Each structure stands twice: as C-alpha cells, then as structure tokens.
Amino acid sequence: MTHAEQPPMIRVRGLTKAFGDNVVLRGVDLDVMPSQVVVVIGPSGSGKSTLLRCCNGLEIGQAGDIEVCGKPLLAAGKMMPESDLNSLRQEVGMVFQSFNLFHHLSVLENITLGPRKLRGTPRHEAQEQARELLRKVGLDHKADAMPASLSGGQKQRVAIARALAMRPRVMLFDEPTSALDPELVGEVLKVMKMLASEGMTMMVVTHEMGFAQEVADAVIVMDGGGIIEAGPPSQIFGQPTQPRTREFLQAVLTRV
Amino acid sequence: MNLDFSPVWANWQDLLNGTLVTIELVAVSLACGCIIGLLVGIGRLDPTRRVIYGLCSAYVAAIRGTPLLVQLFILFFGLPHFGILLPAFVCGVIGLSIYSGAYISEIVRGAIQSIDRGQVEAARSLGMPARMSMFNVVLPQAFVRMIPPLGNEFIALIKNSALVSLLTIHDVMHEGQKIISVSYRSLEVYLAVAVIYFVLTGVTTYALRRIELRLRAGGMVQ
C-alpha cells in the first residue's frame, strides 16, 4: 500500500512533556500513516505510554504539535478546546493495559454505551452492531456477562470491541497484553492482527516483539523520552544501528 | 419497682401520630440531604475550581463544626429577627437536611474518589464529556460504595430528629413528653419511645442491606 500522497493519521512534532521536574518526552517526532501499524517499544520509563496517551489528549504535552485525523490536537503546546477534543476522541479508539471495562455494565452495555450516548444510535441498532463486534472478537456468547466474570483475555477483547463500536479511524493500544496471563496473550494479539489486516491504522505500545516483527510496518524504539531508532521491523530486529537498541532487544529477547 | 405501661397503651394513637410525623420529617430531610450531599460532594472534587470548592468546604466545616441543636435554634428562634418566620416543621426539615447534607457530601466525595481513574479515562477516551462520564460511569459505581456509610447516616438522622421536639414539632419524642407530663410515667414512656426509634432504625438498616445485596448480586461490584 502506498501512503505517500495521503496526510498522516497521527503527526507528532517536537512533543515535550514533563511531570514536574521529570522530563518524560523531549521533542518527539512521529508519523503514523493511514493503514499503517506502528509499534513503539523501549524500556519502561522511556516515555512510550505517555507518547501514546498524548495522542488522544489523556496527557497534555507542554510543547510541540500533534495532529490527529488532520485536526490540531496540540498546536505549539496549546490543546484544542474541550468540545473539539471530545469529538476527536470519538475517532480515536483507545485500549488500556488494565482493560478499564465499565464494571457496572454488561458486556453488551459496555459496547453500546458510547454509540448510544454520543452518536444517538437507537438501542436496538447499537445492540445489533455490538453483537456483530462480539462475533468478530469471538465473544458473542458473552454478551450478557458482567466484566467481573471474564478472563483477562476476554476483557481485553471486549475492550477492543467497545473501542471499535465508535468506528474509529485510528486505534491506540497501551500495552494491551502486559496485564495478561501468558496463555491469554495470543487471543488478544490474534484480534489485533485481524484489525491490522483489515487496514486499521494502529499505534501499539507493547513488549510483544513477535507481534512487532510480524505485523508492524514501522517499529519505533524509545529511550529516555526520545526516539533513538525507527525503521521497518527487519531493520530494527535484524540490524539495529544504535547500541542502546541492541542492549534493549537482547534483554527482552533473551529473558528466560 | 413496678412498671405501669398503661399510659402508653392509653395514648397509643398520639404516639402513632408522632411516629408518622417523625417518619415524614426524616424522609423529606433525607431526600433533601441526599441532593445537597450529591451537589456539595461533587463540588468538592476539584480544588482548582476555587469558588465552588471554597463555598462547599466552608459549608461542610460550618455544619460539622457546630451542634445540630444550635443550628435548629438559630433557624427557629434566630431567623424571626430578620422577619423570616417559618413553620416549625419547615425549620426542622431545613435544619436536618442541611445537617445531613454536610455528612452525606463527604460520603459522596469519598465514594467517587475511590473509583479507579481508568474508568474515567475509558469513558473520556470514547469521547464522553466530563459530566456524561460522571453520570453514566462513575456515579453508578460510586453509589454501591455509598450504601453502607449512607446507612449509618440515615440511622444517625432518625435519632437526631428527636431534637426537633424542642421546636414544638409534634414528633414521637414530643408526643412522649406530652404523655409524661400528664402521667408522670417517664421510664415507661421513654422506653416505648426508644422501642419506636429502634424499630425505625432497624427497618432502615434492613432495607439498605437488601438494596446493597441486590446490587452486588447484579454484578455491580467488581
């Protein structure tokens, strides 16, 4: 697929962010093109989750620019107005490490809440659509279950379905498998691979190197609040140029 | 010692009427107190909204820091100095509402703040405005956590309502004292009044417990 003539879905320039004295992002530049899967890796504390959360306004950058779906989320360190942010977020799906399903709602209600409240979709139509999404993530039999009765992998697949129900143009994944038991990681990655193959634009923070190698169009390595290396997976995993990248990959890939 | 409960039986209708006044007074005050508590509790969530936060905090501090009896007397005996003459029952409702509202606001605030941040982040990430996520995601979950401390507050209010007998409101306490003034059987009558309050608080406890169990069974608790 050629992206050259299209504008990027996410465009980050000179993004800087500090929590008090602790600078977590120092001038990050990044492009995510339509239908591209960009995987962000790096040691913990490198700023990758913060970068991702800045892309839907959950964290606010102090300097720099972020454009999402062509709209200026952050312009010269200034956030777009709250009402614009709310409509922009409808186009940006977010999946969290800790799932964050609404505990008081059934699986089906978790998925229909957004479309019903924000898009005014009639209940029946929203439910129809939710069941379709549940089939897609292999959980149509769990429509009436409460989140507390699901396994971690099931919760995360419902969370993905909930995000998809808003028909987002881009999906952000913040370590979606890090809180899962090892045997449940596969079912979530499978859903993510399916999304990627359907052409969904995705930005994924993860420690799953296998997923990055197999699915990513571009891999970004972060350390100390900056991007130290970026390129296709074959290059990052095959011939990393930065010693820090090699160190990190060695530590991750050789763990026992 | 010989106990003579005959004045209690002879005047059971007065006690019943008093009990109904107490129930009415407490029910209205609780409803108003819950509304006040919800608004003030939400008003105290965000210290950066200085005016709202400051006003709500001052209210809670003033009401929790002074005796309920003094507050009731200010309403009943103090306000007429400004030409505001309210019926005794209205004074009682206002006093009890304002008083319980201060305590309920702290219950509301605590329950809301105990809800995991991730719930709000998930709601906001879907595109929900702050208020929508509060009412659709946070409050329904916070409500379940409010029930046990609210039960304490309801019980305290039922018992505190006895103070309004001093405002000439004909509640069960007031009716009891009236019977005593004629019969001089204070122990027996006060025992009867105590039993009535005990039944009222007991029914309240039971009802709230049932509601909590039902909500838990419905899976509303993680």
Chain A residues touching residue B116 (CB < 8 angstroms) = 100
Q: How far is B216 from chain A (nearest CA, A)?
A: 10
Three-state DSSP at A6 gives coil
Chain B residues touching residue A103 (CB < 8 angstroms) = 119, 141, 220-222
What's the pLDDT score for residue A200?
A: 96
Q: Is B123 on the interface with A (CB under 8 A)?
A: yes
Q: Is B131 on the interface with A (CB under 8 A)?
A: no
Cβ neighbours for A63, distance < 8 A, ≥ 6 positions apart: A14, A15, A16, A76, A77
Q: Do A86 and B128 touch (CB under 8 A)?
A: yes
Question: Which residues does chain A have with pLDDT short of 50?
Answer: none
**What DSSP character marks residue A253?**
H
What's the pLDDT score for residue B222?
A: 44
What's the pLDDT score for residue B219?
A: 58
What digits encode the pLDDT tens for the residues B157-194?
A: 999 999 999 998 999 999 999 999 998 999 999 999 99
| 0.90 exceeded by pTM | no
What digits encode the pLDDT tens for the residues B99-139?
A: 999 999 999 999 999 999 999 999 999 999 999 999 999 99
What digits encode the pLDDT tens for the residues A169-228?
A: 999 999 999 999 999 999 999 999 999 999 999 999 999 999 999 999 999 999 999 999
**What is d(CA A216, CA A204) in angstroms, rounded to the nearest whole number?**
9
What digits encode the pLDDT tens for the residues A229-239?
A: 999 999 999 99
Chain B residues touching residue A159 (CB < 8 angstroms) = 122
| Cβ burial, residue A229 (10 Å; 0-12/13-18/19+) | buried
Measure the CA angle with vertex B38, ends B121 and A60; round to 5°: 25
Q: What is the ipTM of this complex?
A: 0.92
Q: How far is B63 from chain A (nearest CA, A)?
A: 34
Chain A residues touching residue B137 (CB < 8 angstroms) = 102, 104, 113
Please give the mean pLDDT across all residues of chain B.
92
